[in-house]
Amino acid sequence: MKKEYFGTVDGREVHLYTLQNNRGMEAVISDLGGLLVRLYVPDRNGIARDVALGFDTPEEYLENGGFFGALVGPNANRIDRASYTLHGRVYQLVKNEGENNIHSDRQRGVHRRIWEAKEEAGALLLSLSLADGELGFPGNRRLSVRYELTEKNGLRITYDGESDQDTIFNLTNHSYFNLDGHGAGSIEDHRLLLEADAYTPVRADKIPTGEIAPVENTPLDFRSLKRIGERIGADDAQLKIAGGYDHNWVCNGYDGRLRRIALVQSRDAACSMEVYTDLPGVQFYSGNFSRSLRGKDGAGYGFRGGLALETQFYPDTPNQAAFPSSVFGPKRPYHTVTEYRFGNTEALDRRLVSVTPSHRQLSLMQTEFYAFVHFTVNTFTGREWGDGTEPETCFHPEKLDAAQWVRAVKAAGMRGLILTCKHHDGFCLWPSKYTSHSVAGSPWKDGRGDVVREAADACREGGIGFGVYLSPWDRNHPAYGSGKPYDDYFVHQLTELLTQYGPIRSVWFDGACGEGPNGKKQRYDWERYYETIRRLQPEACIHVCGPDIRWCGNEAGDTRASEWSVVPGRTRDTEKIASLSQQSDDTKFRQRRIAATDADLGSRAILAREAELIWYPAEVNTSIRPGWFYHAEEDGQVRTREALAEIYDRSVGGNATFLLNIPPTPDGLFHQNDVKRLEELGEHLRSVFSDNLLEQARLAATHQEPGHEIDCVREKTDSRYYRPADGVRDVNITAAFDKPVWVSRVVLKENVRLSQRIEAFTIEDETGRVLYRGTTVGYQKIAVFPKTKLQTLQIHITDARVCPTLEFVGVY
């Protein structure tokens, strides 16, 4: 649960608390008056709408009145002549609606109090104490209201009250809803059903007459779904008194148990709300306030801009002996539940699973683990970032052997290599026709060398993919910062790399953008760069500052616990990615980890509010050494095999790819320490994943579709996969062994051609002991847990979008 500052009231801080469920719903509630400030619910297209009217600041809530989103009590609604009798004693309340009382006290009621707040099992619990006689009601009282979001897309509100004397308890929530979205205009075109055969008619001052009257043949009959505005202007005495609907309906089936009493549909029928309660009545108010208000986000709230459905005991109940009693006390604690349940929970899942990878993205994800090779003049000057003034003659790798690079990365199990063909210093590792700042000006091979050629050829001969890094920031070239002339130069160089070296699997861009020799910055024409790549190398993935592969957000090898490939379209905002990229040589930046605010990119709650969704898988990149370029003083600081294996498990085993940098020495070779570590890592990975124990197990699943049985997961192939029927989100898969086996890893792979679906799962032994608890799976999840001896392994998928899929399961 997220807690954030909302403002101050009477010198005390008030806060907002954000609740989320796993169906795309989010509620933002304040400890000031229990205000429901925001309520995001998905419509039939799976796009979330904020359906609760409200304001941006505490001051606006207190100034505007209307009880927007607030808890109301101790007694909601009206009391005749602002007094009532309890056990022979007359209690006088404040007169705040003519001679009568409404909602206990407009100025000092619970809606203006700051409640104690705490998290309770994912719910928000608000508590408030009232002294004997306070607000006109007897007893030292303790009120508790619990807000929670259910997996049926319900906002459940549980009210509890204790008192040392008999007293009146009749709390409600006074939220105004507009299912078209707050600020979307009148609710008259909403359709309403009220499961009530009767209502309580009112006098001219809106106090009930005491009669229980049938709704039949009146404009108050909503027993079938009707437009709210259909008869709101009818020539009816009751409607004229309230200026519309502001009446209490007597809900059918009152027996103290939860049941549905109302249904509302938005104007476009894309969003619906059902109201469930264990209370006898509901006050339907059609928002008949005539003045215009300025609501949150600058929205305008006008006449009938929202509707309220306030579940409660009937108005004036303390004075009406024939109405269900609202008297509670030591022998009868107050407890009641109301739930506002929103429809279209399936629509969001359908929308999410429609997002799938391109063939380029899928090919790159299958690469899993690949190398970055940072090599340039910095290797010889000892710097991390050159400034473009380095002489070409300093570059002289006398023993350069790209085949050694390829042998070393293959030994670690890598399937690709990306070369920094040009870093920010502008020095080109190929003889570019467009600059003299290249290998052509170096003494290496008498100026006839081409590092890019040697690397591309070695990768092709070694059977791994080849990719290029071309920094958009060139600190050497005089055209940098000139606009189109520099973009022309950059595209010329990009074209050289994409047309002279065979198939290119990856084009890697970062967003570094500093001043050039002329003191100016360049505004990169990313779309032009992308068009060039798509035209010349259509199978190449464009990484980081590009549309295909997403940067995980750090260079430390840090990963998210839940990594999603289906994310908001805005995450592909190249300018934002560039702004978050490293802009100077900064050791702290290389050690930075993922911020808490960036931990969730793809949950249902996040995606439900996004109009554009994309498949944008993550890449985890870090260096085998503290720096990205070779420094002799770091020879003893090569990451341990254990550290690299842990990053591998969290990245390749966490629905991401792993890009590990290995910097060549000035000789042009990987240092022996780096080579040894890569060999150790490869030996470890081959040892761990050599023997899939699932081959000797008997498999069973609680649900499976014909043609997609659980035995399909035994082989790594995308042509056969397991799945249950649509709508089955909870399945239990059992692997039974003839004799006990030792297990410490389970590998799960979804069929991501059908999108990423699994939301939560556990791995358990035959006793039900949980060995691992996970969330996302995606392309691959490596679940690592302490070595355990078992004879039956259970994989329990507890939640998935539409239904889960599994392409492969491995037990090691």
User: Residues 6 or more apart from 745 whose CB is under 8 A from it?
Assistant: 688, 689, 782, 783, 784, 785, 810, 811, 812
Residue among 698, 614, 609 at smallest CA distance from 25:
609
CA 46 to chain centre: 14
CA 676 to chain centre: 40
Secondary structure (H, E, C), 554-622: CCCCCCCCCCCCEEEHHHHCHHHHHHHCCCCCCHHHHHCCCCHHHCCCCCHHHHCCCCCEEECCEEEEE
Q: What kind and span of H or E run contains 682?
A: helix 672-688
Q: Are the C-beta atoms of 430 and 437 separated by less than 8 Å?
A: no
> Is the Cα dihedral 776, 781, 784, 787 positive or negative?
positive
DSSP bridge pairs for 465? 416
Q: Are the C-beta atoms of 628 and 512 separated by less than 8 Å?
A: no
Q: What kind and span of H or E run contains 509?
A: strand 506-509
Distance between CA atoms of residues 278 and 465, nearest Å? 64
Q: What kind and span of H or E run contains 62?
A: helix 58-64
Residue among 200, 128, 173 at smallest CA distance from 312:
173
Q: Are the C-beta atoms of 2 and 605 separated by less than 8 Å?
A: no
Annotation says 531 is catalytic: no
Q: How far is CA 550 from CA 473, 538, 799, in A?
A: 20, 18, 26
Q: Are the C-beta atoms of 645 and 682 separated by less than 8 Å?
A: no
Q: How far is CA 700 from CA 206, 719, 731, 737, 780, in A?
A: 64, 20, 10, 12, 21
Token pair, residue 629, equals: 């370029």
Among 310, 384, 392, 610, the active-site one is 310
Type of residue found at 599 = A
DSSP bridge pairs for 686? none
Q: Which residue has the tokens 């030792």?
A: 742
Residue among 71, 777, 729 at smallest CA distance from 345:
729
Q: Which residue has the tokens 């004879």?
A: 791
User: Residues 6 or more apart from 129 whose CB is under 8 A from it?
Assistant: 140, 141, 142, 143
Token pair, residue 606, equals: 């996040």
Backbone Cα Rg of the chain = 33
Annotation says 310 is catalytic: yes
DSSP labels, 625-645: SSSSS--GGGGGGPPPHHHHH
DSSP labels, 186-241: -STTSEEEE--SEEE-B-TTS-B-S--EE-TTSTT--SS-EETTSSTTSS-HHHHH
Among 103, 111, 162, 174, the active-site one is 174
Q: How far is CA 163 from CA 110, 129, 332, 335, 804, in A?
A: 16, 10, 9, 12, 49
What helix, strand, coil percent values describe the chain, rounded to 5?
Answer: 20, 30, 45
Type of residue found at 142 = R
Q: Are the C-beta atoms of 183 and 297 separated by less than 8 Å?
A: yes
Q: What are phi and psi of 532, to 5 degrees?
A: -65, -45
Q: How far is CA 18 from CA 30, 38, 83, 606, in A?
A: 9, 9, 38, 12
Query: What is the set of active-site residues?
Result: 174, 310
